[in-house]
């Protein structure tokens, strides 16, 4: 078993704690949180776990082999490097850090000390998102043309990060996973701060890739509806991933094909007016064996630690996400 320490039991930390305790290959031995009420909560569900108000109490705990970090984004770099410098593997919630330079230093340090550094981009471990990727790699959707996503809600407004850094890492991570981590050609952003000065409540992010693929991300915590949807348009089929719907994946056999016209060459020839055929076939709602993504994520992290498996959301993936967010911020 891997002896694990957890730093942060706030908004997301309880989900991590629950999944770590449920995993047969993990043993939670120490937890840190600055809030007494959160420490009391940990003691109520895990009375045998060492609880401390100081993150360094976990970092320097001799029985801890690996650390999970679920604290505000501004603290990630310092805590990740502290874990690695204390010879511990690390899983940190998204984003891994706040800049490319910080991610690169984490990558170098992890290599130097021979430890796993992994970012908690949970949607990469979502079975519906993996099903989408399988559709792409199998060639069923054809060439990817464009992708757009919406991640909207009313609240929870953050004072420390804007809607881009709070929500968009999820969608950018999914898009980079589907596109095999391609580097963008250009990144543009439009946002507005309606509630708190200097902190955008709504952001429209537009990313273009060298092969003509476009991606558009709309994030907001100032919207009347809760929406968690991503649409992928391919040359053969179109796919909608709706994280809220009962059927999370819908595959549309829809598209537009240019028709050949009669002539000497028989391949579109010189016709001034192109003719098109519109396809509107079946809509398939595939059955997906769905497991909690966080459980998949922790299993993968342990596989990386115990068996040297290549980390799906290690520094390389984290870097491809931060590259886009940093370009949109700068």
Look up the CATH number of the domain holding residue 234: 3.30.360.10
- Say yes or no: 128 and 56 in one domain: no
Task: Tell whether 304 is covered by a domain.
Answer: yes
Work out the widest C-alpha separation in the chain, in whole angstroms.
Answer: 82
What residues make up the domain containing 162?
124-284
**Cα 167 to Cα 144: distance, rounded to the nearest angstrom:** 24
Look up the CATH number of the domain holding residue 39: 3.40.50.720
Q: Is 231 exposed, middle or buried (0-12, 13-18, 19+ CB in 10 A)?
A: middle
- Say yes or no: 301 and 184 in one domain: no
Q: How many CB atoms lie within 10 A of CB 321?
A: 27
**Cα 249 to Cα 241: distance, rounded to the nearest angstrom:** 5
Domain count, the chain: 2
- Say yes or no: 148 and 12 in one domain: no
- Say yes or no: 116 and 263 in one domain: no
- C-alpha Rg value of the chain to the nearest Å: 22
pLDDT of residue 259: 65
Task: Tell whether 66 is covered by a domain.
Answer: yes
pTM flag (> 0.85): yes
**Cα 23 to Cα 45: distance, rounded to the nearest angstrom:** 15
Concatenated DSSP letters of 220-281: ESEEEEEEEEEEEEESS-EEEEESSSSS-EEEEEEEEEEPP-SSSS-SSTT-SS--EEEEEE
- Say yes or no: 116 and 246 in one domain: no
Q: DSSP letter at 27? A: E
Per-residue pLDDT of the chain (330 residues; tens, 9 = 90+): 999 999 999 989 999 999 999 999 999 999 999 999 999 999 999 999 999 999 999 999 999 999 999 999 999 999 999 999 999 999 999 999 999 999 999 999 999 999 999 999 999 999 999 999 999 999 999 999 999 999 999 988 988 889 999 999 999 999 999 999 999 999 999 999 999 999 999 999 999 999 999 999 999 999 999 999 999 999 999 999 999 999 999 999 987 777 665 555 555 555 555 677 777 888 999 999 999 999 999 999 999 999 999 999 999 999 999 999 999 997
- Say yes or no: 38 and 97 in one domain: yes
- Say yes or no: 117 and 187 in one domain: no
Concatenated DSSP letters of 84-109: HHTT-EEEEESPS-SSHHHHHHHHHH
- Say yes or no: 142 and 177 in one domain: yes
| CA-CA-CA-CA torsion sign (135, 296, 97, 82) | negative
- Say yes or no: 274 and 306 in one domain: no
- Say yes or no: 172 and 315 in one domain: no
Helix (H, G, I), strand (E, B) or coil at 206: strand
Task: Tell whether 329 is covered by a domain.
Answer: no
Task: Tell whether 234 is covered by a domain.
Answer: yes
Concatenated DSSP letters of 123-143: GGG-HHHHHHHHHHHTTTT-S
- Say yes or no: 240 and 152 in one domain: yes
């Amino acid at each position: 078993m891997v002896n694990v320490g957890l730093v942060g039991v706030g908004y997301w930390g309880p989900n991590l704690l629950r999944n770590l305790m449920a995993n047969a290959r993990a043993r939670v031995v120490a937890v840190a949180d600055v809030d007494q009420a959160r420490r009391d909560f940990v003691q109520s569900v895990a009375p045998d776990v060492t609880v401390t108000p100081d993150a360094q109490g976990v970092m320097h705990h001799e029985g801890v082999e690996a650390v999970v970090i679920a604290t505000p984004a501004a603290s990630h770099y310092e805590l990740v490097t502290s874990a690695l410098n204390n010879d511990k593997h690390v899983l940190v919630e998204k984003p891994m850090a706040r800049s490319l330079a910080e991610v690169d230093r984490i990558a170098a340090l992890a290599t130097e000390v021979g430890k796993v550094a992994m970012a908690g981009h949970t949607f990469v471990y979502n079975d519906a998102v993996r099903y989408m990727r399988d559709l792409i790699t199998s060639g069923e959707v054809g060439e990817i043309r464009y992708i757009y996503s919406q991640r909207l809600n009313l609240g929870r407004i953050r004072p420390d990060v804007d809607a881009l850094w709070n929500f968009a890492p999820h969608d950018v991570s999914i898009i980079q996973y589907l596109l095999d981590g391609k580097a963008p050609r250009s990144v543009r952003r439009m946002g507005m701060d309606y509630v708190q000065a200097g902190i955008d409540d709504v952001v429209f992010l537009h990313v273009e890739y060298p092969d003509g693929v476009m991606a558009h991300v709309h994030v907001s915590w100032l919207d009347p509806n809760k929406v968690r949807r991503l649409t992928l348009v391919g040359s053969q089929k179109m796919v909608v991933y709706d994280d809220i719907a009962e059927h999370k994946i819908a595959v549309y056999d829809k598209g537009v094909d240019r028709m050949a016209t009669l002539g000497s060459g028989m391949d579109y020839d010189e016709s001034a007016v192109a003719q098109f055929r519109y396809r509107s076939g079946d809509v398939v709602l595939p059955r997906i064996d769905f497991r909690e993504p966080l459980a998949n994520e922790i299993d993968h992290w342990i596989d990386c630690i115990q068996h040297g498996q290549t980390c799906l959301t290690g520094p390389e993936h984290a870097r491809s996400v931060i590259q886009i967010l940093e370009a949109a911020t700068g």
